[in-house]
C-alpha cells in the first residue's frame, strides 16, 4: 500500500492516450470500453470488463477521439454515442460530489467562508480548497491555498451544495486523508473537461499562502 492508503500499483500504472500517444499515469486518463452493441462506453470507475481504451482527461482530446481514434484503438468499427463527452463530464462531476460528501460525513470537511477561513488560519491540515465556479470572485480571493494543498474551482455552487447537504455552497475545505486524495484525482479529471489542461493557472490554483 502506498502512502495515504492508496494501492501503489494502481497509482503508478501507466497507459497510452489513444489521441496524443503519450504514456501517463492512469489517474489522468478516462477509460472507455466497447459494449456488446459495439458502442463506446465511458468507464469512469475503471471497472467495466473488456479491453480499455484511454484518453487524456481533457475535452479537446475527448472530442478528437470521436473522429476515428476509438475505432482504430478497438481495431473494429464502433459507434460513438451523441453527447459522449458531456456524459463523461456528468459522471465525473457526480463522482467528485459523492466523494466530497463522503469526506464531509467522515468529519473531514467543512463549508462556509468563516469555517473554511478558520481551518486555513488555525493550522488544520487542509488537503483541498474548493470554491464554486459561479461564486463571487471577490469573496473567493479572500481565501488562500495552503502550501501542499490543492485548489479546485470546477464545481458549481449547486454541485457543492449537494456535496455538503445544502442548497448552495461557495467555499469548502477538505482535511488530509485517503478520501481527500480520491477527490483530488477525480476533480483533476473534471477540471480537465471543464477548464482544459491549462487550468493550473486558473484563479486560486497557485495562490500563494498568506
Q: Are 108 and 57 in contact (CB under 8 A)?
A: no
Task: Give the class (CATH, top level) of 14-81.
Answer: alpha beta
Domains of the chain by residue range? 14-81, 90-195
Length of the chain measured in residues: 210
Task: Give the class (CATH, top level) of 90-195.
Answer: alpha beta
pLDDT 10s digits, 60-103: 999 999 999 999 999 999 999 999 999 999 999 999 999 999 99
Whole-prediction pTM: 0.86
DSSP for 138-153, please give it. Answer: HHHTTS-PPTT-EEE-
Distance CA 68, CA 76 (A): 10
Confidence of residue 159 (pLDDT cuts 50, 70, 90): very high
Contacts of 86 (CB under 8 A, 6+ apart): none
Of 123, 122, 112, nearest to 173 by C-alpha is 112
Confidence (pLDDT) at 198: 52
Amino acid at each position: 500500500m502506498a502512502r495515504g492508503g492508496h494501492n501503489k500499483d494502481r497509482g503508478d500504472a501507466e497507459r497510452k492516450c489513444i489521441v496524443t500517444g503519450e504514456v501517463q499515469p492512469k489517474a489522468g486518463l478516462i477509460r472507455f470500453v466497447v459494449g456488446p452493441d459495439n458502442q463506446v462506453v465511458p468507464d469512469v470507475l475503471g471497472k467495466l470488463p473488456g479491453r480499455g481504451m484511454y484518453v487524456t482527461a481533457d475535452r479537446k482530446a475527448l472530442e478528437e477521439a470521436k473522429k476515428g481514434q476509438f475505432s482504430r484503438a478497438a481495431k473494429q468499427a464502433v459507434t460513438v454515442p451523441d453527447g459522449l463527452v458531456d456524459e463523461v463530464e456528468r459522471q465525473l462531476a457526480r463522482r467528485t460530489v459523492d466523494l466530497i460528501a463522503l469526506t464531509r460525513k467522515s468529519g473531514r470537511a467543512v463549508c462556509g467562508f468563516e469555517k473554511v477561513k478558520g481551518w486555513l488560519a488555525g493550522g488544520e491540515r487542509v488537503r483541498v480548497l474548493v470554491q464554486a465556479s459561479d461564486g463571487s470572485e471577490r469573496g473567493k480571493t479572500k481565501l488562500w491555498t495552503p502550501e501542499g494543498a490543492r485548489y479546485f474551482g470546477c464545481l458549481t455552487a449547486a454541485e457543492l451544495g449537494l456535496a455538503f447537504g445544502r442548497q448552495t455552497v461557495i467555499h469548502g475545505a477538505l482535511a488530509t486523508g485517503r478520501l481527500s486524495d480520491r477527490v483530488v484525482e477525480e476533480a483533476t479529471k473534471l477540471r480537465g473537461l471543464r477548464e482544459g489542461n491549462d487550468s493550473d493557472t486558473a484563479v486560486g490554483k497557485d495562490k500563494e499562502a498568506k
